[in-house]
Amino acid sequence: MEFLTIPKRIHQVFWNFKGKELNEIDVFRECVDETERFCKKNKYEYKLWNLKDCEELLCEEYPQYIWLWTEFRHDIQRADFIRYLILHKYGGWYVDCDVYPIQKLEPLLSNKQVFTFWNNDKKRFPYNAVMGSAFQNELFIKISEDIEKRTIEKQSMKIYDKWQGRLVFQTTGHAMLRNHVPKDSLQDLLIIENEKKNIFITADNPYFYDKNASIWYH
């Protein structure tokens, strides 16, 4: 049974896969704290998923993908993949650790799913740093099945030994995602900032602030 509205729940995922803990990354600590404050103020459920949490979800609810979890070459693939499973199982919002909500999300909650994009991106690639969904949304099962097929295909190709970023895009990231996200689910929701690359982009009515946007999207 599918439920057709987005629950008041926010998920973030972090584990030490770059040699640093959350408290050692200032922008992550700031944005996670802001997200927790938002949830407390607006009576949202909140969970910060660690590696143990993610692997328990995988083993208990999606054991068919344990082999895929170990097959991924990069932790960013695992972080991408698990966010889709979390949204399928629980619904709500997935928000990257360098992103936080800046206004009430109620106008968006009546949707079955919400994806966003960079508003200077003419191709409107879905940006998986922020996603909202009803729970038990079969879209994320289709996405997971496609990731499995793409990972088998792409990781067998020698060219992706060098093109590591492209491998992530093609298997778990936006190049994969755009094949599944309905156009009417895409909304312009973000303020996007990357000081090192002098990037600052904003939606007309932003709901989320991305404080450390991935430069590979620009």
What are the pLDDT digits (tens) for 2-54?
556 999 999 999 998 778 899 999 999 999 999 999 999 999 999 999 999 99
Per-residue exposure over 126-139, b if at least 16 CB sit within 10 Å of its own CB, e if not: bbbbbbbbbbbbeb
pTM summary value: 0.93
Confidence of residue 214 (pLDDT cuts 50, 70, 90): low
* Residue 104, pLDDT score: 96
Two tokens, residue 21: 């803990």
Q: Give the pair of three-digit tokens for residue 55.
A: 């692997």
- What's the length of the chain? 218
CATH architecture of 9-188: Alpha-Beta Complex (3.90)
What is the pLDDT, as a whole number, of residue 215? 43
